[in-house]
Amino acid sequence: MLLLEASPREWRGGNSPHTRNLRCMHDAPEDVLVDAYPEEEFLQDLLKVTAGNTNEHLARLVIRASSTCRPWMSRHGVRFQPALAGTLHLSRTNAFFLGGGKALVNAYYRSAQDLGVQVRYDAPVDALDIRDGRFVAAYVGSERIEARACVLAAGGFESNREWLREAWGQNERGEWPADNFLIRGTRFNQGVLLKQMMAQGADIIGDPTQAHCVAIDARAPLYDGGIVTRVDAVSLGVVVNRDAMRFYDEGEDFWPKRYAIWGRLVALQPEQVGYCIIDRKAIGRFMPPVFPGVQAESLPELARKLGLDEMRFIKTLSEYNVACRVGTFDHTTLDDCHTEGLAPAKSHWAQPIDQPPFYGYALRPGITFTYLSLKTDAQARVYFDGKPSDNLFVAGEMMAGNVLGQGYTAGVGMSIGTAFGRIAGTEAAQAALQEAAHA
């Protein structure tokens, strides 16, 4: 078995080194998971964030697989720990990797090596030889590599700026939004094989503008900023755009179910920028990002430091503060702290921003992975003109759009990747054995 990895060894594993947990169905407490998280609740959480834009059959397959994958992962060296301090609402639903995604990837590669898998680094596949829906060979430069079966797991096109620009186009203000996107993960997911498959007639599913898109610190690097650049204080404060105006309900739902919509929301704002504003009351209630917030002792000073119109900023914050109806604040529940007579409303966790020091975080859209995908089925087969291939399979981001038509909930990408990685690997091995038997 041969694994062709586009990146050098130190960047192996695509976006997986940036992950930290796995969303898991379970009917009772299990080691690092508390209480229960049954199948129907998991499904409803997924349907809510995707607005029903999902293949329910494949979604249920992922959910059920998530209940049994951890013992398999443990056999391959992955270790788990309880939810990290400062993460919100995940101790019941998500199992965290001890050592994070980097440890996960290292464990998998060690296990693969022990099983005899050959890994070639700096070996991007440039082209595929596919005939009548069957995989024949892959090309790394001029080198032709034949195989009896193949699994495609080359990620989306999130690192391909030209493709992002083409997908998002130009907005009504004459801006090209994609020019201001930052890439949270690997620079190696250029969508080369996805485009290859489209050119060869593979069936495609998904909207090229839909993605796991998070509001991240505007100071984050262009690539590989990862989780630490995410700003998790949104639900504890307010978010304004370049014009110092709020534009969405910051307290709509629990943060793990809403954090991945904020990148897209910011992408739709002028200059693709937003500003998260909090005060002293929020400190200690969220996982701090790698960059400290801009700090000020007054709201006018904060507006000036952020480069926002001072009068409009004060008006927006004053209107919000007056509209707050503070009941019993509890960030672990959908509490009764809300606004009245304000548009957009803040449905939960609404408290006046009135206790210095004040903090502001400039935000940019951070793309994790795109949802344009190869259409697949429960056997992870690639389809051509409605017919499944018998030796070409797909896993990971290249098929995630079958389950994620839009939106995201924390850890479900790893659930999809783990479920379909196992399926695709098993099916490819069986296909290869069958072909060998008939050779």
How distant, in Å, are the alpha carbons of 26, 86, 87 from that of 70?
Answer: 11, 23, 21
345-387 residue pLDDT tens: 999 999 999 999 999 999 999 999 999 999 999 999 999 999 9
The residue among 345, 409, 417, 410 whose CA lies nearest residue 13 is 417
* Domain endpoint, select from 365, 382, 399: 365
Q: Does 284 share its domain with 400?
A: no
Q: Examine residue 344 and say whether the peptide bond preceding it is cis (omega within 30 degrees of 0).
A: yes
Q: Is residue 144 part of a domain?
A: yes
How distant, in Å, are the alpha carbons of 22, 33, 103, 206, 366 from that of 19?
Answer: 8, 18, 10, 23, 15
DSSP string, 198-260: HHTTB-EES-TT-EEEEEEETTS-SS---GGGB-TTGGGSEEEETTS-B-S-TTSS-HHHHGG
| pLDDT of the residue at 86 | 61
Q: Is residue 322 part of a domain?
A: yes
List the structure tokens of 53.
């834009």
Write down the residue that tokens 């494949």 correspond to.
58
Q: Is residue 161 part of a domain?
A: no
* Cβ-proximal residues to 430 (8 Å cutoff; 6+ apart), any chain: none
Q: Does 258 share its domain with 347?
A: yes
Q: b/e map of 289-311 (b: 16 or more CB within 10 Å)?
A: bebebbebeebebbbeebebeee
Q: Does 242 share its domain with 323?
A: yes
285-305 residue pLDDT tens: 998 889 999 999 999 999 999
271-280 residue pLDDT tens: 999 999 999 9
Q: Does 280 share its domain with 358?
A: yes
Q: Is residue 336 part of a domain?
A: yes
List the structure tokens of 268.
């739709």
Alpha-carbon gap, residue 63 to 348, rounded angstroms:
29
The domain of 107 spans 2-156+371-438
Q: b/e map of 16-34 (b: 16 or more CB within 10 Å)?
A: bbbbbbbbbbbeeebebbe
Instruction: Enter the pTM of the model.
Output: 0.94
Q: Is residue 18 part of a domain?
A: yes
Residue 87's pLDDT band (cuts 50, 70, 90):
low
Q: Does 132 share its domain with 236?
A: no
Amino acid at residue number 330: D
Return the DSSP state at 19: -
List the structure tokens of 204.
């495609």
Q: Does 51 share its domain with 120?
A: yes
pLDDT reading at 88 higher than 70 = no
Q: Is residue 87 part of a domain?
A: yes
Amino acid at residue number 222: L
Backbone angles phi, psi at 204, to 5 degrees: -115, 150
Q: Does 388 share its domain with 351?
A: no
Q: Give yes or no for a contact between 361 and 369, defined as CB atoms under 8 angstroms apart.
A: no
3-class SS at 135?
strand
Q: Does 273 share its domain with 340?
A: yes
196-243 residue pLDDT tens: 999 999 999 999 999 999 999 999 999 999 989 999 999 999 999 999
Residue 202 forms beta bridges with which residues?
A: 384
* Domain endpoint, select from 365, 380, 415: 365
The residue among 95, 101, 131 whose CA lies nearest residue 11 is 101
Q: Is residue 221 part of a domain?
A: yes
The residue among 139, 133, 287 whose CA lies nearest residue 203 is 133
Q: Does 284 share its domain with 145?
A: no
| pLDDT of the residue at 83 | 85
55-86 residue pLDDT tens: 999 999 999 999 999 999 999 999 999 887 66
Quick one: average pLDDT of 86-92? Answer: 75
Torsion, CA 109, CA 110, CA 112, CA 114, rounded to 10: 160
3-class SS at 360?
strand
Number of domains the chain contains: 2
H or E element that contains 296: strand 294-296
* Cβ-proximal residues to 52 (8 Å cutoff; 6+ apart), any chain: none
User: Residue 98 is part of a domain; what is its CATH number?
Assistant: 3.50.50.60
* Domain endpoint, select from 336, 365, 394: 365
Q: Give yes or no for a contact between 197 and 245, defined as CB atoms under 8 angstroms apart.
A: no
Minimum mean pLDDT among 52-66, 76-90, 156-170, 406-420: which range?
76-90
Q: Does 118 share its domain with 254?
A: no
Q: Is residue 430 part of a domain?
A: yes
User: Residue 298 is part of a domain; what is its CATH number?
Assistant: 3.90.700.10
| pLDDT of the residue at 30 | 92
Q: Does 217 share its domain with 357?
A: yes
Q: Does 313 share its domain with 376?
A: no
Alpha-carbon gap, residue 35 to 29, rounded angstroms:
5
